[in-house]
Structure 1
Amino acid sequence: MAAEALSAPVLCEQQLQLNTNLIRDAGQRLRALAPPFAATLARGSSDQAAAFAKFLLETKAGIPTVSHAPSTGSLYHATSAHFRNVPLIAISQSGRSPDLLAAAQDARARGAVVIAVVNDAASPLADLAEIVVPVHAGPETSVAATKSFLCTLVALTHLVAEWSQDAALLEALPQTGRVLEQAAAADWTAAVAPLRDASEMLVLGRGPSLPVAGEAALKLKETSNLHAEAFSSAEVAHGPMTLVGAGDPVLVLAPLDIARTGLRARLEDFAARGANVIAAGLPEDVAPASLVLPMDTQVHPVLGAIAQIQSFYGLANALSLARGCNPDSPPHLNKVTRTL
């Protein structure tokens, strides 16, 4: 897990070069299609990547994006006829999960334009797609996905940047390798001590950092047997924060864009309750935290969110070991999840 996470910056940089023409052509095609909405199809870590795609499409391309539940197509065969000529972004590391394949097939039968974002470009999911976006992560042997997740976020960012022709995002993309290298070198292991004996915790994000907070919470469950739940820093005030008291850990992956609005006040509320707030973000936002994690905040907010999960993977690996777990062999998990 640790080695594969550290390999991601170079792989992401190579991916951007390898996919240049493919993504440019896909962007032109999708602009010409001008769909009324888009949809995503994924499970697990890939579904967190799908939420990242939703954020990008809605804020950069102005395209409403829905999450298409795999069971709607795979079990109920009830994919809406409104999916005709609508892009369905199916995200899967393996491209072999039976329910995803069945749902993608059902959507294509309804006229959806299936876009497969996959690590295995020779997979069944890639075979049935009209547009294939390979993430070029290479073979991933760690059960807990790291490099493939990072490469998927970068591929989605590249696709939406070309689709939307967002000038700032297009300008930022060539900096991806450098930003992720710096993030991989950032030491977040100071958070191991306050999390070593935790039994449950919250992980907060908002805007571009909410999907990576979801991925962080999932990895804490998978690799450290730690019950972590992700919430928006805006939504957490609607009930969940009542569960947090003195000494309870809260990990905050703070956004670098306008989604940071109100964040400092929220962290002050947690600090006043005696919570152990651990945060990465702009200094003025995360000042109330008891532990501030290092990160480069002078980057595009989308790259900043991707960098946060890159840094987090090092913490996740160290925490897993400190809690007596094996991050390379999480119990009850398989590389390809065969949900029906």
Structure 2
Amino acid sequence: MSLPEENQTLMFREAAETADVVAAQFARNRGTVEALAASLRANPPPFVVTCARGSSDHAATYAKYLFETQLGIVTASASPSVGSVYEAPLALKGALYLVISQSGKSPDLLRNAEAAKAAGARVVALVNVEDSPLAQLAETVIPLGAGPERSVAATKSYLASLAAILQLGALWKQDPALLHALDALPSALRQAWAADWRPLTEGLVGARNLFVLGRGLGLAAAQEAALKFKETCGLHAEAYSSAEVKHGPMALVDAGFPVLAFAQPDETGAGTRAVAEEFRARGAQVWLAAPDGDLPLAEAPHPVCTPLLTIQSFYRAINALALRRGHNPDLPPHLNKVTETV
């Protein structure tokens, strides 16, 4: 099987479009999101519920930490099976119910959105396919605007999901620093795409497994990276909070064990760095993604932007790693672009 050149994969070309996608999304959705944010300020929901699967569920992790740290609104992830398989009614009256989906057609997400709407929740859809069943069901639609994504592995649509969540959070809070971050984010994403993460690519060519660590807002990036290692490279990776990894999983980390750590430039950063150094002292093969780390990070206009910049740099590196390991990142075995679960 002949493999494409590194810059000729669909994954590379689609991920490279992210900065332009985000800039266009922010401009197009501004009015819709401002109206939604004003309504949420006038009638604050008692809590927020997210509903998603796959990469979109990692975006939901980002939403949890963003809304809880910036807005003080408890945000919980709904298990789609509770509504679609168990058909258990939930008390959701007045809640903001945020459904995140690229296709907007997975049956389990649709059933949960319908149940949430019937229970009195306010259903908001973040969706890439604007004429999808989910978009038609939702009270408010925030289009991701990523355009066609032909690579099975989601890239620009995932980052567009995080960007849409960030725009909602910033306009909801009306914090000047967050609003400035929206304006500066596309330029920062372009810088992140140019970051040199070749040490990671070269170091994992022969790896069989690894841990990916993050914490707080950075946990969503760790989850997404671990999925992409499995999906595009056939490499078993597990994501952990840099705090949670100490509760058992760290027993596996010894000499030569690969660890990729994402250090957030916020209150969680010191803890992640400390765990990374502890593992390095054991002889583990550690890469720390930080402005002063083994893997450079573009300067973030606000700490809440760092997970987006981290993953943008990671996508370029994982595309190259997949090819080095003999995999086509556009066509992972046994996977389809649209996954429909019940």
After TM superposition, is the score higher than 0.5? yes
CA 1:305–1:188: 2 relative to 1, 3 Å: same
The corresponding residue for 2:22 is 12
| 2: CA distance, partners of 1:190 / 1:250 | 13
Deviation at 1:172, TM superposition (A): 1.0
Quick one: which amino acid aligns to residue 319 of structure 1? L
| 2: CA distance, partners of 1:251 / 1:265 | 13
Instruction: Please tell me whether the aligned partners of residues 48 and 211 of structure 1 are also in contact (alpha carbons under 8 angstroms).
Output: yes
Q: Tell me if 1:173 matches 2:175.
A: no
Which runs of structure 2 are paired with 1:38-77 in the superposition (5 Å)? 38-77=48-87
Unaligned runs of 5+ in 2: 1-10
**CA-to-aligned-CA distance 1:9-63 (integer Å, 9 cap, x gap):** 1110111111111110010111122111110000000000001001111011110
Q: Tell me if 1:26 matches 2:28.
A: no
| 1: CA distance, partners of 2:167 / 2:332 | 31
Unaligned runs of 5+ in 1: 287-291
Deviation at 1:83, TM superposition (A): 0.3
| 1: CA distance, partners of 2:137 / 2:197 | 41
**CA-to-aligned-CA distance 1:88-128 (integer Å, 9 cap, x gap):** 00000000111111111111111111100001111100100
The corresponding residue for 2:102 is 93
Instruction: Please tell me whether the aligned partners of residues 117 and 133 of structure 1 are also in contact (alpha carbons under 8 angstroms).
Output: yes
| 2: CA distance, partners of 1:71 / 1:166 | 36
Deviation at 1:298, TM superposition (A): 5.0
TM-score, structure 1 normalization: 0.95
3-state SS of 1:71 partner: helix
Instruction: Please tell me whether the aligned partners of residues 214 and 221 of structure 2 are also in contact (alpha carbons under 8 angstroms).
Output: yes
| 2: CA distance, partners of 1:15 / 1:130 | 19
| 2: CA distance, partners of 1:264 / 1:304 | 15
Aligned match for 2:320, one of 315, 318, 323: 318
| 1: CA distance, partners of 2:20 / 2:329 | 22
Deviation at 1:74, TM superposition (A): 1.0
Q: State the identity %.
A: 52
| 2: CA distance, partners of 1:282 / 1:180 | 14
**CA-to-aligned-CA distance 1:173-202 (integer Å, 9 cap, x gap):** 100110000001112122112101111100
Which runs of structure 2 are paired with 1:1-340 in the superposition (5 Å)? 1-80=11-90, 82-283=91-292, 286=293, 292-297=294-299, 299-340=301-342
Runs of 4+ in 1 over 4 A off after TM superposition: none
Deviation at 1:263, TM superposition (A): 2.8
Greater Cα offset, 293-302 or 96-105: 293-302
3-state SS of 2:189 partner: helix
| 2: CA distance, partners of 1:252 / 1:84 | 39
3-state SS of 2:268 partner: helix
The corresponding residue for 1:289 is none
| 2: CA distance, partners of 1:204 / 1:238 | 13
| 1: CA distance, partners of 2:272 / 2:85 | 41
| 2: CA distance, partners of 1:198 / 1:41 | 33
3-state SS of 1:17 partner: helix
| 1: CA distance, partners of 2:208 / 2:160 | 31
Q: How many residues align?
A: 332
TM-score, structure 2 normalization: 0.95
